[in-house]
Chains A and B, each alone.
Chain A
Amino acid sequence: MNLYHNSFPKRTSLIIKGFIPGISYVENSSWLHNLHPLVKLNMLICFSLTVFAVPSCMGGIILFSVLLLFYGLARLGLAFFCRKLRFILIFGLFIFIVQVLVVKEGSLLWQFYLGPAKLSLWSEGLLGGLSMMLRFINIIGSSYLFVATTDPNRLTYSLMQAGLPYRFGFMLITSLRFIPVFHYELEQVKNAHLAKGIDIEGLSPRKLIRAFRYLLVPLVISALSKVDDLAISMESRGFGLYPERSYLDSWALSSRDKIAMLMVPLIFLLFYFAMGSKFAW
């Protein structure tokens, strides 16, 4: 049985699915996909810090162009960007509009009457709105790109080899391992509701309490019942016996990766200084 087939898509879940993009790894073999996960993580962190550190609108535009360039390098393209980040783009636009309507500073650019209401466009509102929108899109967009191009398994193994205690690493790996299992079980529970005539659709408080009891309780109990088996299975294979462990595949940084690890922060730092001095807006 395929675990990923939702056996009875409901209206509500369809609406949710339409807006919140599926945040998952997209398998591919682009340059960005093949980049060492730690280098990518480094890039993500530097990029995000720079987004916050550079307040100007111009900086935001440049960073946004860089982001789009990387989407291209990941062979995900503009269509993918727009489709997956639809919700984020709409929300960003909303931030922009609110800023434009509320902030009335700087110089007056344009003014017109819409019936009795006077609408005016101020320079600070326009620039501030633009930079806030870009900042928002840049942060979410870059995180999304990271997730879409980084195999979580590879990332975790790399982090463990770079010094993350392996117990934490396997916490992540086992939870990823059980996502399809719980997804499948959720479907089973929902089917059982139908067969027993339990109705949990709806959003009234009573319905929500029912939903909590009838949906969450079986799932939590089922999860807890797996814990013992899993613990025995892992411990009987020597998990936690020694402070260190070896690895089948080495994800150590190559010398090129190491240079990249140093260069990436430097580049972003240079960019930060350049932007800070040259552009006031």
Chain B
Amino acid sequence: MVEPVVDIQKLTFTYSGSAAPALHDINLQVYPGEFLTITGPSGCGKSTLALCLAGFIPYAYPGKMDGLVRIQGKNTRDYPAGGLSGIVGLVQQDPETQLCTLTVKDEVAFGPENLCVPSEEIRERIYYALQSVGALHLQDRQVHTLSGGEKQRIAIASVLAMNPSLIILDEPTANLDPSCTLELLDTLKQLRKQNISIIVIEHRLDKLLPITDRLILMSNGKIVEESTSLESHKRLFPINKRTTLPQEITPHSFKKRPAIPPLLSVQNLRAGYEGRSVLAGISFSAYAGEIIAIMGNNGSGKTTLLLALLGVIKLDEGIIKWQGEDISKWRVTKRARGMGLAFQNPNHQIFENTVTKEAKLASLNLSKISEQEIEHRVDHYLKKFDIWQYKDKNPFTLSLGEKKRLTLVSLLAYNPKVLILDEPLVGQDGDRLDLLMAALQEHRERGGITLMVCHEPDLVASSCHRILFLNQGKLLIDAPVNEALVQLAQMGMEEYLPARYEFHSARKQVT
């Protein structure tokens, strides 16, 4: 009988100040070399479990812990926070906040240095760790020049350098774009071959399931389902339950271009920062009633495009037309009346101290609607988006998903013709997602346009009309969803296709 790496018995944990336990009667064993995936809705206790396993609970977080957590036979109660480093490694969600030194080498060396490993051995460990995550070529780089995916790989390498027997990854792909996600999953596949137990906590399962030995579903602090084979994983989680591949939703207007002029059109746009072009030769038109997905890797120029549309970045060349009128010279505030932009990170765009005030802020600044009417609309949308109950709370106390919904409320309240949304769907599960999509649908029926950066191919396929695909600052694809997916498949951009939307559909088109 092999000793389990992790042995949890009857673990119950309640954060102090909270009545309900975050974890309730958990029993779990993990064996050497096992690849375990834990999933469940937000707030189900996944992350708390990770903190227990890494030895940060009970001592670093106040609360009451019952039961036993043993890592390689060591009771976590006997060790201070961080005392199990070298046995357990923890990789967190945000690649930015978990790197603490300036160069890649220093970062990977950081752990072994803390454990007083002699420098010769540290050098060997750096080599091994960087090689395992396929990042040897990064070893002389400065940390701040790396992409999100590279940072996340370095975070894994820095944990690997401590020779752990267990690595826990808490939503490691949440902040990554599709190609970085694919990169990271490849890394995990490689790691699986070594005799290290891996626990991944994750929402996005489609690409993870094939390499998962055991899948655990948590809900309300309990383990509710467990499956040990790919077939039963898939039965438990029908991957593309959301995907109804778009047959009919290609908008009326597409086959024959409409008689009405486009609401927004961009001609030969070139823009960038301080003389360096990020975008070049971008031309497209958007017609009333369209929901358009903007896709592409990080660094492909998506955000620059959004900023250029709003006028935050001046154009180096080209014209932006609004209802036929050239608005290239318009000030940002004037454009913002017709184009509401919600940025990716809600924390950077929350300024007021209550949810209601925050929801009203943009409307008060940008529209001529009476305050009473604004209040009425804000109330309506807050209720609709299920954040009404927080209306007098500080918006910073909301969860990520709730903050994202709040920023959308603040836009919808003044009803700009064009909604420009940078990843609005992150952190929204099931019902909330449907709410958001319904709101966008409503906006569309009022004759509005939505331009949305979105990394979820399933969602794009089921709810958008058109895809603009950017690659290295060029508009590579501008086509209705069906055609665009075929083109993406032909280009081998597998990571942008909905799950199970495999190459055969593409091949059919080609042959």
Point out residues on A near B: beta carbons under 8 Å.
Answer: 1-3, 5-9, 153, 157, 170, 173-174, 176-177, 180-181, 185, 188-189, 191-192, 194-199, 213-214, 217-218, 221-222, 225-226, 229-230, 232-242, 244-250
Contacts and interface: CB of A to CB of B under 8 A. Distances in A.
Given A197-B336, A237-B85, A245 B109 contact: no
Contacts of B299: 1
A105 B113 CA distance: 63
Contacts of B508: none
Contact of B312 (A5, A9, A194, A214): A194
Contact of A218 (B117, B310, B350): B350
Given A191-B312, A245-B114, A237 B347 contact: no
The bracket for how many chain B residues form the interface is: 35 or more
B100 A177 contact: yes
- Which 3 A-B pairs rank lowest in CB-CB distance, beginning with the nearest? A197-B365, A235-B82, A5-B273
Contacts, number: 193
A244 B362 contact: no
Nearest to A157: B106
Given A189-B349, A230-B98, A246-B122, 7 more contacts: A177-B143, A226-B94, A236-B56, A238-B86, A241-B83, A246-B119, A248-B119
A211 to B, nearest CB: 11
A197 B126 contact: no
A174 to B, nearest CB: 5
Contacts of B105: 248
Contact of B122 (A2, A240, A248): A248
A227 to B, nearest CB: 9
A46 B105 CA distance: 34
Given A1-B299, A181-B96, A240-B82, A188 B365 contact: no
Q: Which of B110, B126, B313, B336 has the most A CB atoms < 10 Å from its CB? A: B110
15 contacts: A176-B102, A188-B349, A195-B336, A195-B362, A226-B94, A230-B98, A233-B97, A239-B110, A240-B82, A241-B82, A241-B115, A245-B114, A246-B113, A246-B116, A250-B119
A177 B99 contact: yes
A5 B277 CA distance: 12
Interface in B301-323: 303, 307, 310, 312-314
Q: Which of A6, A9, A192, A199 has the most B CB atoms < 10 Å from its CB? A: A192
A230 B100 CA distance: 7
Q: Which of B99, B143, B155 has the most A CB atoms < 10 Å from its CB? A: B99
B140 to A, nearest CB: 13
Contacts of A239: 82, 110, 114
A42 to B, nearest CB: 24
Contacts of A8: 312-314
B98 A229 contact: yes
A94 to B, nearest CB: 32
A115 to B, nearest CB: 48
Contact of B348 (A170, A192, A240): A192
A185 B343 CA distance: 12
B274 A245 contact: no
A218 B351 contact: yes
A174 B107 CA distance: 11
Contacts of B314: 8
B341 interface: yes
Given A5-B273, A7-B312, A177-B99, A222 B347 contact: yes
Nearest to A195: B341
A188 to B, nearest CB: 4
Contacts of B118: 246
B88 interface: yes
Given A8-B312, A238-B115, A248 B144 contact: no
B366 to A, nearest CB: 4
Given A230-B97, A247-B119, A195 B349 contact: yes
B54 interface: yes
Interface string B121-163: 0110010000000000000000110000000000100110010
Given A188-B348, A191-B312, A229-B92, A173 B101 contact: yes
A3 B90 CA distance: 27
Contact of A233 (B92, B126, B274): B92
A170 B313 CA distance: 37
B89 interface: yes
B111 A238 contact: yes
A242 B90 contact: no
Given A174-B100, A196-B365, A236 B343 contact: no
Contact of A3 (B60, B88, B103, B144): B144
Given A198-B365, A237-B110, A192 B117 contact: no
A234 B110 CA distance: 9
A46 to B, nearest CB: 28
Nearest to B55: A236
Nearest to A198: B365
Given A195-B332, A230-B100, A248 B60 contact: no
Contacts of A236: 54-56, 82, 85, 88-90, 159
B462 interface: no
Contacts of B351: 192, 196, 198, 213-214, 217-218
B113 A153 contact: no
Contacts of A181: 96, 144
B97 A226 contact: yes
A195 B342 CA distance: 8
A235 B365 contact: no
A251 B366 CA distance: 57
A221 B351 CA distance: 11
Contacts of B159: 236-237
